[in-house]
Structure 1
Amino acid sequence: MLNYELVATFILIFIRASAFLAAGPLFFFPSVPRPFKAGMAFALAVVLFPVVPQTGPNFPGGLPGFGLAAAEEAGVGLVLGFVTTLVFQSLNMAGQIMDIQMGFFMANLFDPAMGHQATITSRFLYLLGMVLFLILDGHHLLIAGLARSYQLVPLTGASLDGTTTLAVVQMFARMVALGVQIAAPVVAVVLIIDICLGILGRTAPEMNIFMLGFPLKIALGILTLSVMVPLFGVVFRAMVRMMEQDLHTVIRGLSG
């Protein structure tokens, strides 16, 4: 005979996994087919179902209560997925700051993977970060974090308080600070170029400083970025560890 309690438990596990994958960094791209996302979420739910504590979900009120429980699990998955994408959004922000300083910001291109306009350097840093994330087994970290969330935050047992909300806001602020710090070398080089060009414009007014500045900023900006790339692996490893700590912090916060 069909055990409806186990079926409801599996559906709630599937909903949290689906929301986590939809908001996470690996399947955030709109170009990923939805059946593939659903299939991966279903496979994760099948794998995680035996390890989830079988305490029995509590949703009084029949079908409306189950709908509220499903919405709660979707919210938990979206919050956890949002936290894991902050590292990559900091890379995206750093690339946009670099493009503004180098003069590439007007050279926007339509990124079919993301479904919106993107700058050149931001796409480069985002894809570089994604490759490093897979090399560092970050996808295993995400699966382990999702499995841990079922143990610390039982089904229909999530609680959101002011402390957890403040922690997420602080993580977002740190993401902005990281983006500025990553872009700082290129910004510093371009600032020095602007100062030198300003002094040169005062001493030699007949020179076309405006036309000279464009290729000079682009060349030195790309040169600075090429020097930063070999060191980027060490920085990104620390960012992945920080993402793991933030994910565990949010999970503990949602557990009450």
Structure 2
Amino acid sequence: MLPTELGADLIGQWVGQHLWPLFRIASFLMVIPIFGTQLVPARVRLGLALLMTIIVVPMIPPVPQIDALSADAVVITLQQILIGVGLGFALTALWQLFVIAGQMIAMQMGLGFASMVDPANGVNVAVLAQIYTITITLLFLAMNGHLVAFEVFIESFRTLPIGLEGLGQAGVWQLAHRISWMFVSAMLMALPAVTAVLIVSISFGVMTRAAPQMNIFALGFPIGLIFGLFAIWVLHANFLPHFEVYARQTFDFMRELQR
């Protein structure tokens, strides 16, 4: 028998006050890069989510008093998961942007066959895409991007308080259109290197028409690869400005998603 002070209403209030923020925080940590990859064990993510919940709960608006076994409680739970996954997806798109750009450049310069296993996601990716992933991960941590990401995420508890209303249809459509931003930005980033390799390929095509006896595959492939590596070396000098612009756009999108 429970004491009279610990009734069902009080226990339900405690559970709702901590459980719904936990769903949002755990969903966010499950999706975002670095913390949501296979390199971080599930127990570590769960412990981090519990610790963040304990710290965040005193700073967020009061949780609505709703029965934990009602239909409204199920809707609120799904809304918290959707908000956490949506904000995490917006941050994941920043990583996938550079992965797609690296794959575009690698395919054009002939490095598409050189692939390796990505330990974070467990899939095969081009070597250049893996180099880009490591680079942006180090830049993100060095520039305290993870602290900014958590700050923007915690703001969602004020702009999108726990309740029956969440992202809504407009927020879901914004997340869907974010995929087009990811591909467009990746194409803009890879366009200089792809154009340089394309010019080399066109030049060898003209040379083949002028001298048909030339073995274009034996001569053009290594030269195209060298020009592609040179283009990557030149473009790497502007890697940090590109990352700053795309990271700023990502954080601004995460804030717009909460409105």
Alignment TM-score, normalising by the size of structure 2: 0.91
Q: 2:25 aligns with which of 17, 35, 42?
A: 17
| Mapping of residues 1-256 of structure 1, within 5 Å | 1-2=5-6, 3-4=10-11, 5-54=13-62, 56-60=63-67, 62=69, 65-252=72-259
The 1-side partners of 2:18 and 2:67 are apart by 17
Stretches of structure 2 lacking an aligned partner (at least 5 in a row): none
The 2-side partners of 1:49 and 1:131 are apart by 31
Aligned CA distance change for structure 1 residues 79 and 242 (closer, same or farther; 3 Å) = same
Q: Which has the larger radius of gyration?
A: 2
Aligned CA distance change for structure 1 residues 143 and 60 (closer, same or farther; 3 Å) = same
Equivalent pairs counted in the alignment come to: 251
Measure how far apart 1:116 and its partner are: 1.0
Measure how far apart 1:24 and its partner are: 1.1
Measure how far apart 1:47 and its partner are: 1.4
Contact in 2 for aligned 1:91/1:126 (Cα 8 Å): yes
Contact in 1 for aligned 2:16/2:68 (Cα 8 Å): no
Aligned CA distance change for structure 1 residues 19 and 175 (closer, same or farther; 3 Å) = same
Measure how far apart 1:159 and its partner are: 3.2
Stretches of structure 1 lacking an aligned partner (at least 5 in a row): none
Measure how far apart 1:64 and its partner are: 5.3
Deviation track 1:223-246 (CA, whole Å, cap 9, x = no partner) reads 111111121111111111101110
What amino acid is aligned across from residue 158 of structure 1 in structure 2?
Answer: E
Measure how far apart 1:112 and its partner are: 2.4
After superposition, the CA RMSD in angstroms is: 1.7
Moved over 6 A (4+): none
The 2-side partners of 1:34 and 1:98 are apart by 34
Measure how far apart 1:61 and its partner are: 6.9
Partner of 1:106, secondary structure, is: coil
Measure how far apart 1:94 and its partner are: 0.3
Q: Give % identity.
A: 26
